[in-house]
Structure 1
Amino acid sequence: MQDNQKQYITASAVCARYGGITTMTLHRWLSDDSVEFPRPMQVNRQRFFDVTELDAFDLRMRTKVPAIRANSAA
């Protein structure tokens, strides 16, 4: 596989990646614009998520959540 080729994972793999969340939780994250969860591409009614976009989401959440906790503790 080439280095510049994107990698995609299925919705069920995304659920497993985030601690075994349900497909309903994934649906809610996608429906809630404030979560800013990466949008999938759809092929034959199956959703595929770009791993690079998921990694960027994880990084944003790691920096965003501590700031929210700090503000709520004050």
Structure 2
Amino acid sequence: RWILSLRKPESIAQHVTLFEQNLCELVEQLKEFVYLDIYWYTDPEKVEPYRSMVQKRFPNSQLHIEISRFRLWF
């Protein structure tokens, strides 16, 4: 039941917001940041919201995101 609750739109939105905050903090701390490569597992339902957030937040970046990997070039 708890796992299913993580796939609700409200939960996905919370995860995207938290990831956005963490990603922005990381980019701010690493001034000459060029490339980020994260191996992870995320639910398929979260891939598109993450992609949308990154495109809005970092419009001049390139992004490749899958269920098991997140790559971002600045």
TM-score normalised according to structure 1 size? 0.30
Structure whose alpha-carbon radius of gyration is higher: 1
TM-score normalised according to structure 2 size? 0.30
Structure with greater strand share of residues: 2
